[in-house]
Amino acid sequence: MSSRRRQRDRRPGRRPPFREPRPVILIVCEGEKTEPEYFDGFARACRNSRVRIEIASEHGAPRTLVATAKDLKKRAEAAAKREGDDNLAYDAVWCVFDVDEHPQIADARQMARDNGIELAISNPCFELWLLLHFRESPGMQHRAAICQMLSGHVPGYDKRVEFATYTKGYPQAVKRAEQMDQKAQEVSEPGRNPTTGVYRLTEAIREE
């Protein structure tokens, strides 16, 4: 058999599969259990293979949280530049925290704006977002009252989150949170008690 025939019959080498880079969202949470468990469960329930969620282990008060997110964002950008790989940088960075009685909320907001960091703030607390999976706005409440109301729907609630408990009510929670935001904007009181911006983050995860 001629060398030309052998070359014609030879199969080309197998090419490595092409993988579309996945958007990477970094979430920095105030709480150590509730928020990370919710977002981890939500991301798995979405089954959005195009998105990879990273939840930072660092926690703290709002201003500290945003400063941490700023540092992590810059480190990732530096690594991307150093390695010549844009996929090492985050596509979006979010901070999740409560208004509660924290100081320096305004400073945290300004630092986030200055550094391209998104905020998902709940007033008074993250449990308001969880409660909206089961019922309409409870009106202005202290965090203790919100947690008590949530316990009426999730017996034994102790800051731990099993996302399956909230799956069915998610669409309603988004609508209720949007309506609360809209009403607050209409009276020029954005971020008032009760409001929560968590739905903007969860919808961003779903839509990426």
DSSP secondary structure string, 41-95? HHHHHHT-TT-EEEE-S---SHHHHHHHHHHHHHHHHHHHHHHT-GGGS-SEEEE
pLDDT at 37 over 80: yes
If pLDDT is split at 50, 70 and 90, which confidence band does 52 have? confident
Instruction: Give pLDDT, residue 48.
Output: 79
Q: What is the pLDDT of residue 207?
A: 77
The answer to whether the pTM exceeds 0.85 is yes
Span 126-173, pLDDT tens digits: 999 999 999 999 999 999 999 999 999 999 999 999 999 999 999 999
Instruction: Work out the pLDDT band at 18, boundaries 50, 70, 90.
Output: very low
By three-state DSSP, how is residue 98 classified?
strand
pLDDT band at residue 57, thresholds of 50, 70 and 90? confident
Q: CB of 95 within 8 A of CB of 39?
A: no
State what percent of residues in the chain have pLDDT above 90.
76
> Under a CB-based contact definition with an 8 Å cutoff, are residues 35 and 103 in contact?
no
Q: What is the pLDDT of residue 12?
A: 41
Over the stretch 167-205, which tens digit does the pLDDT of each residue have? 999 999 999 999 999 999 999 999 999 999 999 999 999
pLDDT of the residue at 100: 82
| % of the chain surpassing 70 pLDDT | 89
Distance from chain centroid for Cα 8: 54
Residue 14 has pLDDT above 90, yes or no: no
Give me the pLDDT at residue 154, please.
97
